[in-house]
Amino acid sequence: MGRLAGKVTYVTGAASGIGLECARRFANEGAVVVGADLRTNDSWAEVVAAAPAAGFHVLDVRDEAGQLAVAADIVATHGRIDVVVTAAGIAGGGFVHNMTLESWQLVQDVNITGTFLTAKAVLPAMIAQRSGSIITVASVEGLEGCEGGSTYNASKGAVVLLTKNLACDYGAAGIRANSICPGFIDTPLLQSVVANMPYADQIKAQHKLGRFGRPDEIAGAAFFLASDDSSFVTGVALPVDGGYVAGHSYGVSKMLFGGA
């Protein structure tokens, strides 16, 4: 029996990347998994095959009525919501002086407002059952700045602080809230934004392990935060980043040890 057996889990951004890997890991650990995304894909069939029960909702996380309807359906079907992972998100950036308001607002609307609306939708069920784990997906770029990050960094920094406030506000109801702050993870999103750019190797080198991360490595952290092993963990912004935010490197270690 898996270590999440009996837990009802809800994952946004579940059709690809980090969200899909979280759904897959939860299913393999015996959880009931419900996913949501703008569209599904063939990979979701693997989750359905592994999970004792699974569902998928086509959802724009900016849609408050849609969010409330999905949460109500999960409770009606499964009786509770134990875990939510807010993996839906988009990239964006640029320099503030020439950024359009529309570009700024789109990233804020998906990344922070979408996270807020997901939490708002599931909290009534978690309050009623006096338990729950809210796992938001932020970023190392929500912990520190980087060139050209602007709107994305601002949105992910807001996710981190919203999550800390959720931990403060709902701990008395038995609800935990934590952020995962991934480094640069090899997902379709990364491939579309970074991988083919001339400075991709410089970004990779900022990770002390000398590589980009894998979605399953983020799913492992999500599993920990979903499981009873993290029962005394709340309000944490957890970097899962190959050492990206550990400090600056100047090549001294390569002189001593070689490597990538």
Q: Show which residues are catalytic.
A: 152
Q: In the numeric block, which tokens belong to residue 56?
A: 């998928």
Rounded CA gap, 126 and 28, in Å? Answer: 23
* 132-137, strands of its sheet edge to edge: 54-58, 32-37, 8-12, 83-86, 132-137, 175-182, 237-240
For the chain, helix (H) and strand (E) counts, in that order, are 10, 7
What percentage of the chain's residues is helix, strand, coil (to nearest 5)?
50, 15, 35
Q: Helix, strand, or coil here: 116?
A: helix
Cα–Cα distance measured from residue 87 to residue 51, given in angstroms and rounded to the nearest whole number? 19
* Dist. CA 12–CA 118, nearest whole Å: 8
Report how far residue 244's alpha carbon sits from residue 91's, in angstroms, rounded to the nearest whole number. Answer: 18
